[in-house]
Amino acid sequence: MFWFDKQHPDAVYMDNRELDDVLCDGRTLNVNPDVIADFRRMPFADESFYFVVFDPPHLLKAGEDSWLAKKYGKLGPDWKEDIKQGFQECMRVLKPNGTLIFKWNEDQVSLGEVLRAIDRRPLFGNRRSKTHWLVYMKDDQRNIG
């Protein structure tokens, strides 16, 4: 939802689904990724990217066919391990000193719970609203634990 240009030639857009739907308010929702894959097992070689944006689902409670679930996806019962694996995959595909932007909305799960699950502190980020943008750098050992 935050992309200005999903078709930018330097961007690879990955999601685990494809979807074309009309939401309850009449807006269309198009999820049309370049790569369909699970963020816990990305189909990219180690150290493929200088920059990664990790925007996982953040909802625990949403109806399977609700517009919220369609728009943002939904966390499973093992969400802590899923987010941890996804974060580790993002770091794996980053080049040394690459940058990871992690986006999280704490409407249903607090940022503190997520940070405990991934066990990495960000370098900096935004803490003023429900949606947080956190910045990490690969190989910065100071942000572990």
Instruction: Classify residue 136: in a domain, yes or no.
Output: yes
Instruction: Say if 2 falls within a structural domain.
Output: no
For residue 21, is pLDDT > 60?
yes
**Cα–Cα distance measured from residue 8 to residue 144, given in angstroms and rounded to the nearest whole number:** 33
Q: What is the dihedral of CA 74, 38, 106, 64, to 10 degrees?
A: -10
Residue 63: what pLDDT?
Answer: 85
pLDDT digits (tens, 9 = 90+) for 26-74: 888 888 889 999 999 999 999 999 999 999 999 999 887 787 888 888 9
In a domain, 46, yes or no: yes
Does the pTM surpass 0.85? The reply is yes
Query: 124 has which bridge partners?
Result: 135
- Number of domains the chain is built from: 1
How far is Cα 139 from Cα 24, in angstroms, rounded to an integer? 44
Examine residue 5 and state whether it is found in any structural domain, yes or no: no
Provide the 3-class DSSP secondary structure of residue 111.
Answer: helix
Q: Is residue 7 part of a domain?
A: no
Whether 4 is in a domain gets the answer: no
**Which structural domain range is residue 46 located in?**
14-143
pLDDT digits (tens, 9 = 90+) for 72-118: 889 999 999 999 999 999 999 999 999 999 999 999 999 999 999 99
Q: Is residue 1 part of a domain?
A: no
Q: What is the CATH number of the domain that holds 76?
A: 3.40.50
